[in-house]
Amino acid sequence: MTTAAKLPQAEQASTSRSARIDIDKIRRDFPILARDVRGKKLVYLDNAATSQKPRAVIERIVKYYEQENANIHRGVHFLSELATREHDCAREAVKEFVNAGSTREIIFVRGTTEAINLVAQTYGRANVGAGDEVLITAMEHHSNIVPWQILCEEKGAQLRVAPINDDGELLVGELHKLISPRTKIIALAHVSNALGTVNPVKKIIDCAHSKNIPVLIDGAQAVPHMKVDVQELGADFYTFSSHKMFGPMGIGVLYGKAELLEAMPPYQGGGDMISSVTFEKTTYNKLPFKFEAGTPDVAGAIGLGAAIEYLNQIGMDKIEKYEHELLAYAIEQVSSIPGVRLIGTAKAKTGVLSFIIEGVHPHDVGTILDQEGIAIRTGHHCAQPIMDRFGIPATARASFAFYNRKDEVDALAAGIRRVQEVFN
């Protein structure tokens, strides 16, 4: 890695004095956090939608385009070899980050959405037939619902949905009851984007495997906030997006067990995914390239590699611990305001705070907070079935990252009081 020389210094800075992260230093790493919005200091609390990017990532992408840009896997020239090598390094970094067994199991895609569509359209089409069942949960993002609906419609299969309770926790017993001999795949979120609920995915995977059913885990909201070990979890497929983990937009990862990926038909046809082509017969390339047709987002992959390096320097364990404390503080501050109701009160949660203010539509909450420079998400968060489950049209959602501070939570709480002033 090109910035490896900086590592000991950064580590020293972030670990000095205590095992805590140095939040002020971290904030200086993110240029956008210094800007003003509508004359106020930006308070960015929309991290579940997308995260901000550290300078290390931005500069790495600039360096790629200024010094290294070339197409990969085809040129014999210097730059092509360099770009190919850096692209390979990024894949290696991803593999290490989630502890995959091999880089053959790391497929670069556009994001979590494409990763799930890939599995539904390849593994799904090859293995799900008429009368079979696909099992998901009531807290899935639309990207982990619609690809399966498309598959089920095409094949005459059934989509089964495991319910959640009033705290937004998955009813694991009910999910287990929904597993039948016709269940061909289970797909669920590691962490809910709308509620922050952390699902006991290892337990579910173990149960599914005892019945020989593979499991896809949507890890988009988990990977940026906790240490994920795909081998320890035993996940058959695990998907995540770069842009939610401080890397660039437009790239993401499908992890799949090699034996499953080997047996799957390809997703898209084109260059790079083949080893030989004639008009009579095409032989597909080996993993992971079989699933990576066309020129990939090389800069995106390299940028993701830089984001992973940055996260490693801080340490995912420290990030998880810090965010946990910040969430506890936010829950305390926001839930103590009369007239505010939290949606999603699971015991195991990441830094997502969905809430509604009595008598005020979330959209109005969003507009008023925006005037204070506070960026939150309002709406259904691409999870309409969750809104239906709680009987609400939408929520306001504040979501945290490790660069957020307690004073930003205070600003949120003050903003909520301001909303109530305007409306009362």
Partner 1 sequence: MPELRELYQEVILEHSKAPRNYRQPATVNQKAEGFNPLCGDRFMVYLDVEGDEIRDIGFQGSGCAISKASASMMTQAVKGKSREEVRKLFETFHKLVTTGETNGNRDDLGKLAVFSGVSEFPVRVKCATLAWHTLQAALEGKQDTISTE
Q: Which residues are catalytic?
A: 382
Give the x/- contact pattern for partner 1 in 332-361, rule: CB under 8 A. Answer: ---------------------------xxx
Distance CA 47, CA 357 (A): 21
Q: Between residues 185 and 387, which has the closer beta carbon with respect to partner 1?
A: 387
| In contact, 412 and 369? CB cutoff 8 Å | yes
Q: Choose, by CB under 8 A, the member of 167, 234, 371, 410 that binds partner 1.
A: 371
| In contact, 170 and 162? CB cutoff 8 Å | yes
Task: For residue 67, state whether it binds partner 1 (rule: CB under 8 A).
Answer: no
- Structure tokens belonging to residue 395: 């929520």
Work out how close the CB of 370 gets to partner 1 at its nearest, in angstroms, rounded to a whole number: 9
Q: Choose, by CB under 8 A, the member of 379, 413, 414, 417 that binds partner 1.
A: 379
- Structure tokens belonging to residue 133: 């069942």
Task: For residue 397, state whether it binds partner 1 (rule: CB under 8 A).
Answer: no
Work out how close the CB of 86 gets to partner 1 at its nearest, in angstroms, rounded to a whole number: 38
Strand partners, 342: 355
Work out how close the CB of 149 gets to partner 1 at its nearest, in angstroms, rounded to a whole number: 16
Q: Choose, by CB under 8 A, the member of 100, 162, 293, 368 that binds partner 1.
A: 368
Q: Between residues 103 and 371, which has the closer beta carbon with respect to partner 1?
A: 371
Distance CA 41, CA 73 (A): 45
Q: Between residues 38 and 177, which has the closer beta carbon with respect to partner 1?
A: 38
Q: Between residues 344 and 362, which has the closer beta carbon with respect to partner 1?
A: 362
| In contact, 399 and 48? CB cutoff 8 Å | yes
Give the residue from 143, 185, 141, 123 showing the smallest Cα distance to 160.
185
Distance CA 236, CA 230 (A): 8
Q: Between residues 231 and 367, which has the closer beta carbon with respect to partner 1?
A: 367
Q: How many CB atoms lie within 10 A of CB 275?
A: 11
Residue keyed to tokens 């079989």: 290
Distance CA 271, CA 274 (A): 6
DSSP calls for 65-101 = IIII---SSS--SHHHHHHHHHHHHHHHHHHHHTT-S
Task: For residue 329, state whether it binds partner 1 (rule: CB under 8 A).
Answer: no
Work out how close the CB of 91 gets to partner 1 at its nearest, in angstroms, rounded to a whole number: 35
Work out how close the CB of 44 gets to partner 1 at its nearest, in angstroms, rounded to a whole number: 18
386-397 exposure pattern, b = at least 16 Cβ within 10 A, e = fewer: bbebbeeebbbb
Work out how close the CB of 361 gets to partner 1 at its nearest, in angstroms, rounded to a whole number: 4
Q: Between residues 24 and 421, which has the closer beta carbon with respect to partner 1?
A: 421
Among the listed ranges 200-208, 247-255, 285-293, 380-388, the one in contact with partner 1 (CB under 8 A) is 380-388
Q: Between residues 22 and 364, which has the closer beta carbon with respect to partner 1?
A: 364
Strand partners, 160: 135
Task: For residue 34, state whether it binds partner 1 (rule: CB under 8 A).
Answer: no
Q: Is the peptide bond before 266 cis (omega within 30 degrees of 0)?
A: no
Q: Between residues 202 and 418, which has the closer beta carbon with respect to partner 1?
A: 418
- Structure tokens belonging to residue 399: 């979501």
Distance CA 242, CA 304 (A): 6
Task: For residue 43, state whether it binds partner 1 (rule: CB under 8 A).
Answer: no
Work out how close the CB of 139 gets to partner 1 at its nearest, in angstroms, rounded to a whole number: 17
Q: Choose, by CB under 8 A, the member of 61, 170, 394, 411 that binds partner 1.
A: 394
Task: For residue 41, state whether it binds partner 1 (rule: CB under 8 A).
Answer: no
Strand partners, 109: 252
Work out how close the CB of 423 gets to partner 1 at its nearest, in angstroms, rounded to a whole number: 6
Among the listed ranges 77-85, 105-113, 181-189, 363-371, the one in contact with partner 1 (CB under 8 A) is 363-371
Task: For residue 142, state whether it binds partner 1 (rule: CB under 8 A).
Answer: no
- Structure tokens belonging to residue 193: 């984007």
Task: For residue 364, state whether it binds partner 1 (rule: CB under 8 A).
Answer: yes
Q: Choose, by CB under 8 A, the member of 380, 390, 401, 416 that binds partner 1.
A: 380
Distance CA 413, CA 298 (A): 41
Q: Classify residue 289 by burial, with Cβ atoms within 10 Å: 0-12, 13-18, 19+.
A: buried
Task: For residue 387, state whether it binds partner 1 (rule: CB under 8 A).
Answer: yes
- Structure tokens belonging to residue 282: 């095409």
Residues near partner 1 (CB under 8 A): 359-364, 367-368, 371, 378-380, 384, 387, 393-394, 422-423
